[in-house]
């Protein structure tokens, strides 16, 4: 349905860049490897009948991420405490649960009917998946390692695809910057699935036989008991129906013509092809936990939404002083985990197809409105209180579940082009995307090398601003990806978010002392 001619040109440009990059990036112990057989392998493997593994169809949500307009690759960056030992990492991966997982040892092939499927292979050549980058990313004499890694990730966001003649993942080792970047196609699974797999595959440095803690399960919502009476159930049901109706209609209108007012952070059609910049906002989980206690029944997600609302208001004040009306709505797309347990799962539970916490892309999206407030005249915790009201209404509704079911229905019965076009329009008509992923709460290690930080970002979207936060061992890092021609100073934006949390922390501390 929708075909952007710029995208075709960009695809050719990406292929050119990937070939040009061979001079600076070397495949581990396999300098002669080539992707020239990609299409042959895709066709021949799809027609192979004599194989002990049966092919599995790609899920409808997975097919979204294989369409040109929404092609998504997850980049998971790991910082290492010690110098990288390539041999130790290869040895670890060979015996890890990661390689034994079906998705990480399967090719994406086409069936005789033309449908994309997963075809299990009997052997994964690690030499083709481990990409060694021996030199520094920048040629400058004085450089910051974090900025250099973020520049590398920004380039990957728009310029490099994964080859189809091997399982759709890679591990880039940036030797000079002492970090690794897992590149994993989103069709393999969502953030919750991948974090659970990482937790099971990369054991802690001190206790090799113990799996890292998966994080607390959190309190389940208590069912209304009989003592509260039928009227409580009735009010809850009416609220669910009302908010679901409002939010579902609004979501449908967003996919057609309703859009945000243009601001200094607005993206749009084709912006996914624009050059990117990345910056990192660093938070302490302890600070976020302290802030959430200042508002009864608030959650870390509420705090994050409040921080984003306050930070964006502060940033827009800087970019356009007195240029926006008070209370202007800025709408984002937020990700919601649809599993029964919204925490990291044991890998065995994820692999059960009949489990409520099954592996794959079991997440959905919902519209997240925030409101511009002049930062100079707004009490910091007011952003959190407003965020909690919005999030409580979203939780009470069925918006996320509806968008998931409708997406599957459209992909199955109307085809990939129409379904992807509607999703693409929704993204174009909103201003940002945000996600929050719970990572391991104990230190993990790859090849015996402790991981000091864990960060996630994805390929570009039509948004000029996307934010992905991951919590790991009492810290939470949020990767901020921007279209640099629209938002030229993501480092300042990251500082706005960090200062917003500190202001909330100070306000919460004052309320506690009072």
Instruction: Please write the tens of the pLDDT for every residue from 366-404.
Output: 999 999 998 777 799 999 999 999 999 999 899 999 999
467: closest CA among 457, 475, 459?
Answer: 457
Report phi then psi at 109, rounded to 5.
-125, 170
Pick the range with the lowest mean pLDDT from 34-38, 102-106, 242-246, 458-462.
34-38
β-bridge pairing 169-174 and 130-133: parallel
Q: Look at residue 354 and tell me whether its pLDDT is greater than 80.
A: no
The pTM (predicted TM-score) of the whole model is 0.84
Average pLDDT in the chain:
82
463 is catalytic: no
Residue 107 and residue 51 in contact, taking contact as beta carbons nearer than 8 Å: no
Q: Is the dihedral of CA 237, 239, 245, 247 positive or negative?
A: negative
What is the CB-side half-sphere exposure of residue 179 using CA atoms within 13 A? 22
Q: Is 33 helix (H, G, I), strand (E, B) or coil?
A: coil
Helix axes 490-513, 285-292, angle to 10 degrees: 50
Residue 10 is predicted with a pLDDT of: 43
Would you place residue 204 in the very low, low, confident or very high pLDDT band (cuts 50, 70, 90)?
low
Say how far apart CA 344 and CA 191 lie, in whole Å: 10
Say how far apart CA 201 and CA 100 lie, in whole Å: 10
Q: Is 466 helix (H, G, I), strand (E, B) or coil?
A: strand
Residue 151 and residue 137 in contact, taking contact as beta carbons nearer than 8 Å: yes
286: closest CA among 476, 448, 497?
Answer: 476
Residue 141 is predicted with a pLDDT of: 64
Residue 7 is predicted with a pLDDT of: 37
Sheet holding 106-110, edge to edge: 56-57, 116-120, 106-110
Query: Which residue is catalytic, options 129, 186, 463, 468?
Result: 186
Residue 67 and residue 60 in contact, taking contact as beta carbons nearer than 8 Å: no
Pick the range with the lowest mean pLDDT from 25-39, 233-247, 381-395.
25-39
What percent of the chain shows pLDDT beyond 90? 48
Residue 8 is predicted with a pLDDT of: 38
Residue 42 is predicted with a pLDDT of: 46
| Helices and strands in the chain: count of H runs, count of E runs | 15, 16
Residue 4 is predicted with a pLDDT of: 43
62: closest CA among 197, 186, 193?
Answer: 186
Q: Is 193 helix (H, G, I), strand (E, B) or coil?
A: helix
Q: Look at residue 217 and tell me whether its pLDDT is greater than 70.
A: no
């Amino acid at each position: 349905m929708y075909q952007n001619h710029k995208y075709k040109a960009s695809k050719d440009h990406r292929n050119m860049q990937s070939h040009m990059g061979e001079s600076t990036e070397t495949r581990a112990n396999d300098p002669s490897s080539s992707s020239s057989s990609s299409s042959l392998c895709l066709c021949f493997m799809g027609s192979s009948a004599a194989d002990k593994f049966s092919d599995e169809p790609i899920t409808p949500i997975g097919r979204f991420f294989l369409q040109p307009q929404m092609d998504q690759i997850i980049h998971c960056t790991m910082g290492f405490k010690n110098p990288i030992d390539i041999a130790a990492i290869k040895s670890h991966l060979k015996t890890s649960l990661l390689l034994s997982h079906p998705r990480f040892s399967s090719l994406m092939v086409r069936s005789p009917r033309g449908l994309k499927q997963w075809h299990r292979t009997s052997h994964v050549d690690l030499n083709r998946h481990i990409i060694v980058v021996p030199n520094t990313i920048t040629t400058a004499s004085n450089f910051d390692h974090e900025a250099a890694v973020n520049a590398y990730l920004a380039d990957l966001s728009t310029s490099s695809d994964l080859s189809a003649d091997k399982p759709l993942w890679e591990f880039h080792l940036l030797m000079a910057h002492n970090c690794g970047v897992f590149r994993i196609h989103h069709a393999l699974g969502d953030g919750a699935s991948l974090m659970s797999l990482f937790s099971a595959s990369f054991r802690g440095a001190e206790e090799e036989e113990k799996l890292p803690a998966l994080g607390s399960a959190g309190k389940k919502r208590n069912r209304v008991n009989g003592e509260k009476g039928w009227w409580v159930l009735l009010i809850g049901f009416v609220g669910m129906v009302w908010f679901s109706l409002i939010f579902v209609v609004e979501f449908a209108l967003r996919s057609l013509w309703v859009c945000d007012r243009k601001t200094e952070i607005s993206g749009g059609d084709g912006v996914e092809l624009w050059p990117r910049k990345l910056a990192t906002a660093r938070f302490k989980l302890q600070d976020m936990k302290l802030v959430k206690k200042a508002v009864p029944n608030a959650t870390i997600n509420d705090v994050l939404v409040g921080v984003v609302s306050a930070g964006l208001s502060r940033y827009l004040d800087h970019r356009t002083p007195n240029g926006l009306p008070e209370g202007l709505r800025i709408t984002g797309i937020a990700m919601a985990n649809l599993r029964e347990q919204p925490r990291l799962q044991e890998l065995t539970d994820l692999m059960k197809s009949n489990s409520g916490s099954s592996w794959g892309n079991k997440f959905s999206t919902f519209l997240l409105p925030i409101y511009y407030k002049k930062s100079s005249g707004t009490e910091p915790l007011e952003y959190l209180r407003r965020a909690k009201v919005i999030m409580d209404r979203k939780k009470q509704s069925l918006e996320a579940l509806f968008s998931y079911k409708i997406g599957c229905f459209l992909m199955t019965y109307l085809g990939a082009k129409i379904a992807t076009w509607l999703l693409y329009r929704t993204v174009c008509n909103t201003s940002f995307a945000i996600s929050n992923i719970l990572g391991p709460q104990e230190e993990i290690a790859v090849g015996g090398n402790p991981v000091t930080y864990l960060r996630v970002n994805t390929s570009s979207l039509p948004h000029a601003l996307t934010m992905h936060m991951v919590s790991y061992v009492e810290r939470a890092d949020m990767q901020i990806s921007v279209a640099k021609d629209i938002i030229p100073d993501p480092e300042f934006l990251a500082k706005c978010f960090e200062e917003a949390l500190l202001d909330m922390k100070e306000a919460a501390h004052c309320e506690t002392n009072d």
